[in-house]
Structure 1
Amino acid sequence: MEKLFRWNIILAALHAVQAVAIIVLSKPDLGVQTVTTSFLSLDTLASTAEKPVLVSATRSLFDVNLSCFVAAFFIICSLAHLFIATRYRKTYEANLQKGINKVRWYEYSLSASTMMVAIALLAGIFDIGTLVLMFVLTAVMNLCGLIMEVTNQGKEKINWTSYIVGCIAGIAPWIVYVFYIVGSSRFGDGGGPPTFVYYILFSIFLLFNSFAINMYLQYRKKGKWADYLYGERVYMILSLVAKSA
């Protein structure tokens, strides 16, 4: 437990430094993306009194800077680790003995969802409705992890329903990414996103799936994962690597 306490302190400090570095080093005029909305609109030129013609219209809503999203999920992570290491420490350690860490899932539901929106903007997804759905689906995926731990405390036979639902919710944003990337590569004038975007998407996809694998191994009690605390340390490492990738 003492080792986990030190890990939480270190991660809180590290994520705080990362957030400050992003804020200080980022340039306000770089990484700016315009969030849009699409809707049906009457085509006044093509429409007649007898036959109105509706067309899809897109309007700009506001600009966002990707660095703000990156700094935001670092700040969320830092505050969560600091909370766990201080005010919440006793409850945290008691819950670990029961095989649950509630704060982890609440933090993931905010930080991972924010990260997914940032990746979406990087991939060329600017529609606000799509961005909101991607945020919510990622949050649902992580909250299903919380439900998994709450409902299976002290049980010999594991109920995998919430795990399966979480995986379905979690894979949906990645399917959307594929549609946009393929569409951009096939129909875009520039031949698709820069190569580094593909590397980012692929690496984050692998890391996100690693969280699900870690939970699976925990509940199957495979090898070192028979000890819940080992899985907790793996979550910390995966979180650090995923958010720093």
Structure 2
Amino acid sequence: MTSTTTPMATGVTPERLRGLRRWNIGLAIIHLGSAAVILFLTNDFSIPVLASFIDGAPGSGEGGGATALVTSDLFNVTIGYVVGAFLALAGIDHLLTATIGRRIYERDLGRGINRFRWAEYSVSATLMVLVIALYWGVTTINALVVIAGANVAMILFGYLQERMNPPGRTSTTMAPFWFGSLVGITPWVAMALNIPLYTDAPEYIFVILAVQGVFFFCFGLTQWLQYKEIGPWANYAFGEKTYLVLSLAAKSLLAWNVFLVSLIS
């Protein structure tokens, strides 16, 4: 009778897992603490979400030309609450992986996957992109829905990349990664199109777009390095720690940048 052993992801050792647990506990404290402070101090600063549509059938204007564009406010997004939400989601994720979900988390890491990460990112990273889009003048409900959908799709493709490439595989497919990159870049293209139009934008908005764009690129780069097995990223546990560091930096910088310049100024 032949016994088979499921291959373990590279570098997922008991020592590494203990270190990751300490990191998750620390990040849970930081994120939940930051969320509590922001929610406590925030004011009612908000950005309106608009409906935009043409008044009449397309091409029904005078002489067959453009028809009037009508806009109306649908609701206001209180930015402090959204910032607090994506920080709290990250904190809850890290708390779960360090406590009641620890066994599932560590077992999944051994299988080269982290379902907690992708579930959290699909909501928290999408809220982050929506906040950035709102600051960049993308405020119509149609555009925001498409941006949210594209970002969620990108995250789910990241999950598929891990799911389709288990440890011990004889070949690696990068198709989910490239599909995710294609849909994931579209919100940033949409926001970048406003740059030449948004001539009176304060400098901090350019900083937010540039810094967060770099961080989102680094998340994708991390996965690419993992599956190309380049340098220390050939170690799956190292890649997991890289995700933790990037998540902390991206969320904290966006949260406090937005909070300090927009909510208490």
TM-score (norm 2): 0.84
**Larger RCO of the pair (alpha carbons < 8 Å, separation 6+):** 2
Aligned ranges 1:1-245 → 2 under 5 Å? 1-28=17-44, 30=45, 32-42=46-56, 54-154=67-167, 155-185=169-199, 191=200, 193-245=201-253
Q: Any runs of at least 4 consecutive aligned residues in structure 1 with deviations exceeding 2 A, and if so which?
A: 50-55
SS in 1 for 2:218: helix
Amino acid at match of 1:67: G
Q: Secondary structure at the match of 2:75?
A: strand
In the TM superposition, what is the alpha-carbon distance from 1:84 to its structure 2 partner? 1.1
User: 1:156 Cα shift?
Assistant: 2.8
- 1:159 is paired with a residue of what secondary structure? coil
- The answer on whether the counterparts of 2:61 and 2:68 sit within 8 Å (CA) in structure 1 is no
1:55 Cα deviation from its structure 2 partner: 2.3
* Separation of aligned partners in 1, 2:65 and 2:222: 55
Contiguous gaps of at least 5 residues in structure 1: 186-190
Do the aligned residues in 1 keep the contact of 2:48 with 2:74 (CA within 8 Å)?
A: yes
Q: Mark the CA change 1:65 to 1:156 in structure 2 (over 3 Å): closer, same or farther.
A: same
C-alpha separation between the residues in 1 aligned to 2:31 and 2:157?
A: 25
Q: Post-superposition shift, 1:63?
A: 1.0
TM-score computed with the length of structure 1 as normaliser = 0.90
- The 1-side partners of 2:32 and 2:120 are apart by 15
Letter in 2 for 1:22: I
> Which amino acid letter does the alignment assign opposite residue 190 of structure 2?
V
Residue 52 of structure 1: how far off its partner (Å):
11
Q: Which has the higher mean CA deviation after the structures are superposed, 34-43 or 4-13?
A: 34-43
Deviations 1:82-121 (A, max 9, x none): 1111121111111111111011011111100000001111
Count of paired positions = 234
* Cα distance in 1 between the residues matched to 2:138 and 2:42: 22
CA contact 1:42–1:53 (8 Å) conserved in 2? no
The alignment yields a C-alpha RMSD, in angstroms, of 1.9
Q: Which amino acid aligns with 1:41?
A: D
The whole-number CA distance in structure 2 between the counterparts of 1:52 and 1:181 is 28
TM-superposed CA distance for 1:40, in Å, is 2.1
Question: 175-184 or 196-205: which moved more?
Answer: 175-184
Deviations, residues 36-68 of structure 1 (Å, cap 9, x unaligned): 01112149xx979x9898422111111111111
Contact 1:42/1:52 (8 A) holds in 2 = no
Instruction: Evaluate the alpha carbon distance shift between residue 85 and residue 165 of structure 1 in structure 2; reply closer, same or farther with a 3 A threshold.
Output: same
